[in-house]
């Protein structure tokens, strides 16, 4: 007894969609690994489950970030050309399998132009790099110069806090309190950790 040919249409129930997604994702992962190994290619599939949970299948030796950056660095014209080629191939496959799928539903151009989206992506990449550089200040240091630089910044901030504390202390009638300095140092450390 052979397999039954399934009509390609949206599954009605949410549970059915999730079960089918899980089963087919496993098969897709296996095929992606095989394709990457056989053809020695970098491969990255980005998926969103029916529940909206993102995941990816990395079928290559390269890290997913590297593969994604290679794709992001393609010109908008190259991406549009490859999309049209892939959709044409998909049309031929569905026609050969006698499935009634309207590929044109997937070719709709978004309201933003490809160039605008590419520019937006570049801006986001620059913001990401800037944030990475800021975070790197608080991570482990690679060189003694980096550690010394961060130490100088922290010492300067500590001196500013002590100076301000002294000003406030002069305004107050209450005598100097060492525990207050410890509280300020604790709050300073905590605020630095949040950055």
Q: Is 44 helix (H, G, I), strand (E, B) or coil?
A: strand
* pLDDT in single tens digits along all 195 residues of the chain: 567 777 778 888 989 888 988 899 989 989 988 988 898 888 888 888 888 888 888 877 788 888 888 878 888 788 778 877 887 887 777 777 766 666 566 555 555 677 777 888 888 888 888 777 777 666 666 778 877 887 888 888 888 888 877 777 666 544 445 565 666 666 666 655 555
Angle at 64 between CA 61 and CA 69, to 5 degrees: 115
**Length of the chain as a residue count:** 195
Give the three-state DSSP class for 56. Answer: strand
Give the pLDDT of residue 193.
Answer: 59
Cβ atoms of 57 and 44 closer than 8 Å: yes
44 burial type by CB count under 10 A (0-12 exposed, 13-18 middle, 19+ buried):
buried
Looking at the structure, give the CATH architecture of the domain made up of residues 1-62. Answer: 3-Layer(aba) Sandwich (3.40)
């Amino acid at each position: 007894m052979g397999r039954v040919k399934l009509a390609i249409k949206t599954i009605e129930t949410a549970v059915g969609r999730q079960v089918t997604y899980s089963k087919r994702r496993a098969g897709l992962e296996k095929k992606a690994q095989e394709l990457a190994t056989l053809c020695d290619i970098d491969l990255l599939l980005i998926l969103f489950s029916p529940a909206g949970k993102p995941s990816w299948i990395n079928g290559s030796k390269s890290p997913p970030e590297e593969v994604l950056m290679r794709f992001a660095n393609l010109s908008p014209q190259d991406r549009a050309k490859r999309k049209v080629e892939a959709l044409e191939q998909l049309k031929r496959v569905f026609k050969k399998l006698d499935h009634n799928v309207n590929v044109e539903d997937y070719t709709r151009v978004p309201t933003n132009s490809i160039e605008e989206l590419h520019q937006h992506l570049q801006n986001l990449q620059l913001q990401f790099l800037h944030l990475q550089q800021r975070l790197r200040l608080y991570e482990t240091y690679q060189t003694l110069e980096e550690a010394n630089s961060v130490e100088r910044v922290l010492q300067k901030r500590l001196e500013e806090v002590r100076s301000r504390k002294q000003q406030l202390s002069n305004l107050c009638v209450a005598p100097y309190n060492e525990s207050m300095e410890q509280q300020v140092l604790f709050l300073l450390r905590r605020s630095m950790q949040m950055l």
